[in-house]
Structures are given as structure tokens and as C-alpha cells.
Amino acid sequence: MSKNMIGLDTAKTAKLAEGLNDLLANYQVFYMNVRGYHWNIKGDKFFELHLKFEELYDDLLMKIDEIAERVLTLGHRPLHTYSAYTSKSVIPERQDISDGPVCMGYILESFSTLLEKQRKLLLESAEADDEGTNSLMSDYITEQEKTVWMYRSFLGK
């Protein structure tokens, strides 16, 4: 078994890096969607949602950087082109959405996708004894589950 510079199995870290890059692509598309919601929101909840979307995209941007740096820590290269992001992401690009509840529905769908991918990485990172990736995914899941509850409550669901 070959080990990388941080003592993890190279075959397992290659698989984790691939999963993290897939996650990174989905985060990038989600991030751009939320930027668009922030810029285009209209209606009686404009002020509330405009601020909430800014808070969300700031958080997404921080996580994008953390995920890319984790890929590098594992000894691999993070994706860094829009073409790579759009070809790998299962979160679709959203365009010209200005209705608050519609935006929130798409945000909830995106979180569902991210949570599924992060849970998979949580299991894979545990199997690889990769505490760094495992901790990152665990933190994201805990935080995002609460966020989903709050966004669903906003929609009255």
C-alpha cells in the first residue's frame, strides 16, 4: 500500500479527491445560482431575502475554498474551470429567477444534493482513515441540516 505525504493510502485519497472535486463542482454551480437569486430577487421579501442570499453565498464561497484546499492537501488538483463545473455538477444552472419562494425551493433542492454527496464522502473518508475530510463533511452536514430546517420553515413546510 502506497501512502501520501500525510500518511493516507494513495488509492483511497484519489477516490476521495474525485468525490471532493464532484462536490466542488456542485458547490460552484450552487454558489452562482445563489448570486443570481441575490441580484434578481423581487417582491415584498426583497430586503430579507437579499441579505439572506448574500449570507448564503458568502458561506458557500468559504466552503468552496475549503474543499479545493482539501483536494490539494490529499495531493490532488482541484477543478478550476467553469466547463468542468458545469459538466460534473448535477445541480443545474438557474437563470433569471426572481421569485423568493421559487429561489428558496431551488436552494433546498441544492442542499439535498450536497447533503447526499457529503454523506457519501463522510463514509468514504472514514473508511480511508481521513479524519480531515471526515471532519469537514461532518461539520457541513450538521450546519446544513439546520439551514434546511430554517429555509423549509420560511416556506411554511
In a domain, 105, yes or no: yes
In a domain, 6, yes or no: no
CATH of the domain at 72: 1.20.1260.10
In a domain, 101, yes or no: yes
In a domain, 4, yes or no: no
Q: Give me the domain span that covers residue 91.
A: 11-154
For 130, other C-beta atoms within 10 Å of its C-beta total 24
In a domain, 93, yes or no: yes
How many structural domains are present in the chain?
1
pLDDT digits (tens, 9 = 90+) for 54-93: 999 999 999 999 999 999 999 999 999 999 999 999 999 9
CA–CA distance, 87 with 11 (Å, rounded to integer) = 24
pLDDT digits (tens, 9 = 90+) for 103-148: 999 999 999 999 999 999 999 999 999 999 999 999 999 999 999 9
In a domain, 1, yes or no: no
Q: The cell 463514509 sits on which residue?
A: 123
Global pTM value: 0.97
